[in-house]
Amino acid sequence: MAFFDNDLDFNPEKEGRAEALAKVTGRGKYSAEYRTENVTYAVIVGSTVASGKITAVDTADAKLADGVLDILTHINKPSVPGLLSEDKIKETKVGLPVLHTDTVYFKGQPVAVVVAKTLEEAQYAASLVKTSYQETKANVDFKSTHPSVSLKNDGKERGTVDQWSKSPFSVEQEYHIEGEVHHPMEMHATIAIWNGNDKLKLYDKNQGVNGVQNTVGKLFDIQPKNIEVITEFMGGGFGSGLRVWPNTILAVMAAKKVNRPVKLMLTRQQMSCLVGYRPESWQKVKLGADHSGKFTGLLHDSKNTTSLYENFLENITRISRLAYGFENLKTQMATVPLNLSTPTWMRGPGECTGAFALESAIDELCFKMNKDPLAIRLQNLSDVKDPESGKDWSTNYIRECMEKGAAKIGWNQRDLKPRQKKEGNWLIGYGMGVGMWTAGRGKASAGLEMDVNGNVILKTAMTDIGTGTGTSMRNIVHENTGIPLDKIKVDLGKSTLPQAPSQGGSRGLSSISSSSNAIAEALKSELIKFAQNINPDFKNVKSSDVILSDSDVKIKNKTASVSFRKIFEDNKLTVIEVEETTEPGDVQKKFAFASGAAHFCRVKVNELTGKVKIDRFVSVVDGGKIVSEKPAKNQIIGAVVGGTGMALMEEMTIDKRIGALVADDLAGYHFSTNSDVPVIEVDFINKPDFNLNASGAKGLGEVGIIGSAAAIANAIFNATGKRFRNLPITPDKILKG
């Protein structure tokens, strides 16, 4: 199903987004909403302990419940070849050998799956499953646990660390951030349908259908071409959909066992422990500067939570090697294995966490020097060469972002000394933070199909996770061909379509935009080939010399044209199809690439209640060419909202006695709502980077959150004079000081 159809009264130029009508009318289907004949329902039974061995699983009562078809445990599950080999588990990166072990690594780990005719019957039967354990002491205490290995030099060291001893100004502080749960609106879900022993169809919530196709193929020893994966729409992911989780594997196992389609949807509580999270982290930053304000050196250490069965390193210190020209630098990282599930990438992974510590430390150093944090950052930027690789930046407009954002927020009204502005009981403060993310692209394919009436369908396996990929593809093809927007449909998120990478790492549009340009040029070339047999004026004409309308192909600045209908009739065509694959070339090896953002905010802090109110927030972003402005702004706004959650309220609260999450639903887990954020002012530099791709677009998804939490924390210090190095900054902490 394409995102919109011409038989509906829909004006994409007015509505803005290609998928808008399908979403607001409910016609667009999410993974759990597809209708499947003879479908059954699966419910996961989670471990009630956080550590130990399963000694028995009593399913007798559950099997007697109405509608129950089968109950899978580690004893009677269908064997999954890829879960029998540690090497295959590492290769596929599934981590947990779900139902292929009697070891319990965390509370909520799947120990059984009940399959029944209805969801209600499966839920009731799941409540009757009784599991016995040989329980062992669980450890979920990040702060008191030593890393699995000592802080390890990540090989990113330059200069000498002795420079701090010579620095007239320095800071050395530790920073801590609680873990965060993704909690997108749509819970993870899978519908698995077997057709024989070697053909499988999956409706699955994920950020990359080809990735799921390949992983499931390796796990179940099936040719990927025999697996069809569909993810047309996605209700948020933030990184949780970038890998295959237990729900997908269990749905496939259950469908194989009962020989019927199986639908498995996680509960909100299960979302807290089965699809990853941003790990809890500790950082130490030591930063020095000379009398002029030039940075003399940086030491950045980090540790983050991981599971006992899989090592997840968040790469927290990478941000310190991007933005500023530290001639003397050393970064070290380590992980802390606990009785928790494996964390995963969460929007701006590593950089978002690391930027809080780095940008806070810079703010602290500036206060100690009695210098303007904006001026010191501008003085120390490395915006000509990448300090890591030594390559020239292809484009880097972070300086322009900072200058433009400062003007917008009224940075000149900020006092160097804190607690200088007040309105009634509200203290006023200004803060800033800088974000950078390595801009990249991958191999991606796109196709295009045109009919006799000039209607076009764009096709790619890439899933639009809400970032506006389909809209951007449509806009690129419109801009390069002239085909009216209302003639262009978009078909995404199916593994049967031209292959494309997952939507993650801010590389989605950067990758698929080149393919979109390529198919636009290929279509024009095809039409020229047919048109020159009808009208000699088209001989030796290049694709750049023609423009398309809703009914014909024309030579620019000439009257010569040939109608689509004439081309189709003369050549007995029913459809014209083109497909193109693009990938990084040699030019990408010559330069370094990055997106950047400067975040500025004005906060009000109530002296009596400790409440923080973000009065204004300005983000200015260098994301290359902005192909679709509304979706681009939406991405940054959503990212900043995530940053406010990190700064002020989000935390995975864990009961250390039982190893369980205390807040495992949307009532207990607090995140930003409309009332917590102001109207977020977003602006773009909007200068293309054609060395990266043909459209000039760079990634946006990550930089909107990187540095935003630091901007808020720094503003709170400017307002109150109190420095908070542990997130979230809740009212009780502000009142305690």
Q: Are 677 and 614 in contact (CB under 8 A)?
A: yes
Is 479 a known active-site residue? no
Query: Helix 398-409 to helix 373-380 angle, to the nearest 10 degrees?
Result: 170
Beta strand spans in 187-256 (E): 189-194, 200-204, 227-230
For residue 484, cis peptide bond before it (omega within 30 degrees of 0): no
Cα angle, residue 344 at apex, residues 338 and 350 outer, rounded to 5°: 100
Residue partners of 417: CB distance under 8 A and separation at least 6: none
> Residue 347, class by beta-carbon neighbours within 10 Å (0-12 exposed, 13-18 middle, 19+ buried)?
buried
DSSP 138: -
Q: Pick the closest to residue 680 from 620, 611, 604, 610 (CA basis).
A: 620
The CA distance from 524 to 544, in Å, is 8
Q: Side chain identity at 158, as an amino acid letter?
A: R
Output the six-digit token pair for 513: 């935009």
Angle at 269 between CA 267 and CA 275, to 5 degrees: 80
Calpha distance 113→608 (Å, rounded):
51
Angle between helix 469-481 and 508-531 (nearest 10) = 30
Nearest CA to 643 out of 432, 439, 467 is that of 432
Q: Which of 267, 341, 278, 260 is nearest to 98 (CA)?
A: 341
Q: Are 305 and 336 in contact (CB under 8 A)?
A: yes
CA-to-CA distance for 735 and 111, rounded, in angstroms? 44
What six digits make up the tokens of 40? 């059954």
Strands 52-58 and 561-563: unpaired
Query: What backbone phi and psi angles, to 5 degrees, belong to 571?
Result: -105, 10
Q: Distance (Å, rounded) from C-alpha 660 to C-alpha 267?
A: 16
What's the rounded Cα separation, in Å, for the pair 474 and 488? 6
* Integer Rg of the chain from CA: 27
Return d(Cα 365, Cα 376) in angstroms, integer: 10
In angstroms, the CA 711 to CA 81 distance is 48
530 vs 32, 448, 514, 526, 566, CA distance in Å? 45, 17, 25, 7, 10
- Cα–Cα distances in angstroms (integers) from residue 521 to residues 71, 98, 514, 524, 545, in the given order: 54, 47, 11, 5, 11
Q: State the pairing for strand pair 329-338/152-158.
A: antiparallel
Both tokens assigned to 708: 């935003």
Q: Which of 180, 186, 359, 702 is catalytic?
A: 702
Q: How far apart are the first and last CA of the chain?
A: 56
Structural contact between residues 619 and 405, judged by C-beta atoms closer than 8 angstroms:
yes
Per the CB < 8 A criterion, the answer to whether 149 and 106 are in contact is: no
Length in residues, the chain:
737
* Cβ atoms within 10 Å of 94's Cβ, excluding its own: 25
Q: Give the Cβ contact number of residue 218 at 10 Å.
A: 17
Mind telling me the catalytic residues? 702
